[in-house]
Amino acid sequence: MKDDCIFCKIANHVIESDYVYEDDLVCAFRDMNPAAPTHVLVVPKEHYATIVDGVPQETLAAMAKAIDEVVKSEGIDESGFRVITNAGPDADQVVKHLHLHVLGGRFLGESLLAE
Ligand code: AMP
């Protein structure tokens, strides 16, 4: 765990959050500034900066399983959803701990980009 990382703290319950799923490797909690009716962040418990920071296959599989569990429990598995991960400056990654945004609950539009 990285001591100055907010998502390390949330994922390891040093700081509590609004969790919607958890297993040994990952957890999922609600984004504090939701961009859609469902906006959940899927986060590994170990610290990785981005999706390409040597994340073990087991953890990637756990993140995929977490998406599956979240979209079902949120009731958006049939209506549809979007999964986004920002990596680095051009993507405007703010929190430097790998997280997948799971968005849904309304029509999300055709554009992948805000601008
Ligand atoms: P990104 O630009 O991909 O790094 O997005 C970071 C996301 O984390 C934003 O959508 C924030 O609203 C969200 N966020 C930051 N801090 C917290 C927190 N303590 N609890 C929940 N969500 C957070």
Domain ranges within the chain, ordered by starting residue? 6-104
Give pLDDT tens digits for 67-78: 999 999 999 999
CA of 34 to the centre of ligand 1 (A): 9
Ligand 1 mutation target, pool 31, 84, 102, most atoms within 8 A of CB: 31
Give pLDDT tens digits for 35-47: 999 999 999 999 9
- CATH superfamily for 6-104 is HIT-like (3.30.428.10)
Please list, residue by residue across 19-49, b when 16 or more beta carbons sit within 10 angstroms of its beta carbon and e when fewer do: ebbeeebbbbbebeeeebebbbbbbbbbbbb
pTM exceeds 0.95 for this model: yes
> Helix (H, G, I), strand (E, B), or coil: what is residue 32?
coil
Please tell me the distance from the alpha carbon of residue 106 to that of residue 36, in angstroms, as a whole number: 7
Displacement of CA 28 from its chain's centroid (Å): 6
Average pLDDT, the chain: 96
